Amino acid sequence: MGVKQMTKYNILIAEDEPLIRMDLKEMVAEYGYNVVADVGNGEEAVKKARSCEPDLAILDIKMPGLTGLKVAEIMHAEDIAPVILLTAYSQSEFIEDAKNKGVMHYLIKPVDEKELMVSIELVIARYKDLKLARQEVQRAYNKLSERKIIERAKGVLMTDEKFSEKEAYQKIQRVSMNRGISMKEIAEMIIINSELK
């Protein structure tokens, strides 16, 4: 056995072959991870992923019903958890398809225990980094959007009230503070009011 990991991540395992599923479950549990669900088909994998909210899903590529690729695509679209795909196939079309479905890692069967453990840690770390980056991009977008609205409202005040740019900004700021609502909301009200004239 190797070094046990420190964080107890919740793992979902979806593999249609019971013996392989049991081996995966034992490997993952042996390293201190929490197996929140182990299922044998794609439909159950999606249901469990939605209800258990795992930190990671380990999916077999070929399962009855929904394939591992389809489950990965759903999990990626719904931003549920990152996916490690297990397969006996290493053809380039499978790899390309996996990349297009949001799969974060791809392991060839039979799975090496140490390789799986390293993959789990790296995939979860990269997924967290990606989520943080997405949140930062969203915050930056929101800030830019807010600034555009405030700039537009300043323009309205400069035109309608003959304020200087500084006076227009200070007016928006003052009303925002007096009413206890954001400058963006005040700016939106100014814009709407000017459009109603």
Which tokens belong to 196? 């109603």
Distance, in Å, from the CA atom of 136 to the CA atom of 146, rounded to the nearest integer, reads 15
Cα separation of the two ends of the chain: 75
Q: Three-state SS for 105?
A: strand
Q: Tell me the sheet residues that pair with 58.
A: 13, 84
Q: Where do the domains of the chain lie, and which CATH numbers do they carry?
A: 10-111 (3.40.50.2300), 137-196 (1.10.10.10)
Q: What is the pLDDT of residue 1?
A: 45
What DSSP assignment string belongs to 67-105? Answer: -HHHHHHHHHHTT---EEEEES---HHHHHHHHHTT--E
Q: Confirm whether pTM is higher than 0.85.
A: no
The answer to whether residues 32 and 7 touch, using CB atoms and an 8 Å cutoff, is no
The pLDDT assigned to 78 comes to: 95
Flag the least confident range among 1-5, 22-26, 108-112, 113-117: 1-5
Checking if the pLDDT of 7 tops 70, the result is no
Tell me: pLDDT of 107 over 70. Answer: yes
User: What are 185's two structure tokens?
Assistant: 């909301």
Q: How far apart are CA 11 and CA 15, in angstroms?
A: 13
